[in-house]
Each structure stands twice: as structure tokens, then as C-alpha cells.
Amino acid sequence: MVRYEYGGDEFVFVELAEEMSLEVNFQAMAITRKLREKQLPGILDICPSNASYMIRVDPDQLHPDVLIKELKDLEHSVSIDDFEISARIVDVPILFEDPWTHEALMRFRDRHQDPNSTDLEYAARINGFASKEELIQAITDYPYLVSMVGFVPGLPWCYQMVPREQQIEVPKYVRPRTYTPERAFGFGGAFAVIYPVQGAGGYQLFGIAAAPIYDKEQRLPDFADSMTFPRQGDIFRYRSVTKEEFESIREQVEAGTFRYLTTEITFTPHDVIENPKQFSENVLGRLYV
């Protein structure tokens, strides 16, 4: 059942479901897009999430009760059946088992469910893989939908586009780390993330991204319009790279010449929901032509 709540005087929070699914995430995208199109006076910000969204409103222009009535109308009138998404497919190079995240995760073993293994080893075991190499293969075989952006600026929450029974899931640390390297690639719940900047964190650490997803100075061409790279609706393919390719990309980043490999795609939610594996294979075919 959809839940509508007030957040002080200026916010309305809407929870479409208690758990994340592709269907619910697409519904949140569709509703918030339609709301933007309406351009209602008094709406200051629209913030879609994994299975919910939040609206900031000026109550002097638009009473929250009036807004909630409008949102309930959208809940019943907006359908993902006629919803199209135009997005980027992005190749995201990852160095798995890198020395920087390894040093960080080993420093905090006392906060982990299994102090005697690495995060990759632990995640592989609890997901039924025979080895960490098999887990890495499963992570990189199929792409991910960027279901939301947030927590810290530019952090992409990425949900793999596979049937539910194939979803990789891991718990967060028992207690969070006080240090996580910039660009660390991790997993928590069913979500893959890249940490945009150095900071605290509790997701299992598997590797490090070669290229930034946050560029405060906007030096790189991909950041000309925004200091954050990910957008909700993007499709990320995490690709395992060698140390040599990682170092080559880092040199391009330092020189200001790096560009993400991307291509544009338009798709419907049903393209994904009806056959996620086939959709994923089509995505990879388009990206690496």
C-alpha cells in the first residue's frame, strides 16, 4: 500500500513499496516525470528514489494536502505501460581486489561479519559461488540500472538487470567503517555503488573504479554540464580491467582527456521486466559494437 507522509512544513514523502523492484522503480520515475511536466507552482524540488520519492514544496504557494491529492491522482493515472526512458549505456571500468580498498577493508575487520575473510570472499560464499572469481563474473556479466542517485553527491545506486533469483545480495558491515577510498566499488543489499569521494561507509568493498563519477572542478569532458556523472535511468556495465588498463585510464584522467564509453538507448520498462537477460544482452551488444 502506498504511504504518504509529511516531512515538516516543506516536504511530502511517498513510499510506493517497502522493497525495491524494477517495476516500482520505473513507477517512481514515471510519476515524478509526469509531475515535472505539470510544472505546478510551489514545487521546489522533486527527488525520486529506489521505491519512493520526496517533494519539496513551498506551503505558501501549494498546500501539502493539495499536493498529496495531486500525487494520489498520478498514482492511479500514470502507468509504466506507456512510459519510455531515454538513457545512456555506460562502460564503467573496475579494478577488482585493488590494493587501496583491500587496505581499507582489512583495517576494519573487527566491524565485519567474517573477520577472517575479505569482503569478496565473504560475499561469494553467502551467495553460493564456488570462488570469488565466479562472483566477479556474475557481477560483470549483466548491466545495472541506475535506480537513484544520492546519499552523497553523485553516488549511483545500481540494481542488476537479471531475474530476482539471480540477484547478488550482501549485508552491510555490522558497524560502518570510518574510511572508504574515493571511487571504491562496493555492494550493499542488492545494490552496487561507487563512492564518489573519500569518507565513511558500510558497503562490502570489492574494487575501485578507474575513472571518477564526481569532478568538482569539471575538468573532464564528461563533466562539462555537471560535476556528477550518473543519472537516474542510466545503464552501467561494470567491466573488470587489469592493473595495466587501470593505470592507463588514470593517466588519461590526470591529463584531462578521459571519456566514458557510452551510447544512447531508448527503452520501455516492459523491455526489461519481461526478459531482463535478453535486454541485458542487447544492451551489451549495442555498447561494444
pTM of the model: 0.93
Q: Do 189 and 51 meet the contact criterion of CB atoms below 8 Å apart?
A: no
In sequence order, what are the residues at sequence separation of 6 or more whose Cβ sits closer than 8 angstroms to the Cβ of residue 261? 90, 91, 287
| pLDDT over threshold 90, residue 19 | no
CA 251/CA 169 separation, integer angstroms: 34
pLDDT recorded at residue 230: 96
pLDDT at position 179, please? Answer: 97
CATH 3.40.50.720 fits 3-81, yes or no: no
**Rounded CA separation 90/95 (Å):** 16
pLDDT value of position 164: 85
252-263 tens-digit pLDDT:
999 999 999 999
Query: What phi, psi does 83 have (nearest 5°)?
Result: -110, 125
CATH architecture of the domain 86-287 equals Beta Barrel (2.40)
Task: Give residue for cell 571504491.
Answer: 184
pLDDT in tens, 141-199: 999 999 999 888 899 999 999 888 899 999 999 999 999 999 999 999 999 999 999 99
User: What is the mean predicted confidence (pLDDT) over 113-126?
Assistant: 97
| Residue recorded with cell 512544513 | 9
Given CA atoms 159, 165, 168, 173 in this order, what sign does their dihedral have?
A: positive
156 forms bridges with which residues in the sheet? 149
User: Residue 11 — pLDDT band, cuts 50, 70, 90?
Assistant: very high
Q: Which amino acid is at 159?
A: Y
pLDDT at 153: 83
Q: Based on C-alpha coordinates, what's the Rg of the chain?
A: 20
Whether 3-81 and 86-287 share one fold: the answer is no
Type of residue at 25: N
Domain spans of the chain, in order of start: 3-81, 86-287
